[in-house]
Amino acid sequence: MICLTGDTHAGVDMHKLSDNALEKAGIRLSGNDYLIITGDFGFPFTPDDLKEYEQKKGEYLFWINWLKDRPYKVLFVDGNHDNHDWWSEQPVSEMFGGKVQIHPHAENVIHLMRGEVYEIEGKSFFTFGGAASVDKVYRTEGYSWWSAEEPSLEEIDRALNNLDRIGNKTDYIITHTLPERIIWEAPSFRYKISPCRTAQFLDTVLERVQYDKWFCGHFHIDTVIKERRAFVVYDTVHELSCFDKILNGEESMCLS
């Protein structure tokens, strides 16, 4: 089983992954299952997290150990609020047919990298994390904000080459933000345009790629954009197979 949810922001929005919250959503995850987080994972975030981890104390230590104890695999794309400097130093390996980074503090936590294509449970996934921070003027570069939150030309080229390799067709697209065109179609989302180079590149993906469903986080809301077959997730966790029912109006994005 594959489930999806939105930003966790380190421990700030982890409540939705508690056993009680998942049980309320009718979800039971085992060792054969996957949970995908659509960016702003946040473990670790500031350099202080890593210092405290070495000292065997702090909130980061608590949460990364909690995640490590989950029986399922936690997969995530990066968002704008992730420590990109730290992740750039982590080893790259192969999994699901694409390049990944396995978290050194929790081997069941796996970074799905920008521009990669994966096959999980017989379905294809194209992933492209990152976004522009609208709040970076209030943050400190290298401590709580990183310029690598936006893609490099190399990452964009890799994405386009991988999409060409699969004939520009995939089952699912997992990103942190949305294409700029979709953002402009939804007035309540426009505050997230900074401008955002990531969203501008995703316009190219939107034009070229045939997909079944598109999932993102970033906008701190649970909603569906039916005409684009796009889902914005945040506070809820849904099994992948439920999104057809959501499109058909048989289920809601938000759980009561």
pLDDT 10s digits, 37-75: 999 999 999 999 999 999 999 999 999 999 999 999 999
- In degrees, rounded to 5, the angle at the alpha carbon of residue 106 between the alpha carbons of residues 105 and 109 is 130
Q: How far, in Å, are 51, 78, 187, 246 from residue 36 at the CA level? A: 27, 11, 27, 18
pLDDT of 233 over the 60 cut: yes
pLDDT 10s digits, 8-30: 999 999 999 999 999 999 999 99
Q: What is the pLDDT of residue 109?
A: 98
Name which of 21, 88, 210 is nearest 3 in CA terms.
21
Quote the CA–CA distance of 197 and 200 in Å, as a whole number: 5
211, containing H or E segment: strand 210-216
Q: Give 256's pLDDT tier (boundaries 50, 70, 90).
A: very low
Cβ atoms 44, 86 nearer than 8 A: yes
Query: What is the phi/psi pair of residue 174, to 5°?
Result: -120, 115
pLDDT 10s digits, 95-149: 999 999 999 999 999 999 999 999 999 999 999 999 999 999 999 999 999 999 9
Helix residue ranges, H only, the chain: 19-24, 47-54, 59-68, 84-88, 153-165, 180-185, 197-208, 243-247
Q: What 8-state DSSP symbol labels residue 109?
A: E
Name which of 46, 77, 109, 88 is nearest 177 in CA terms.
77
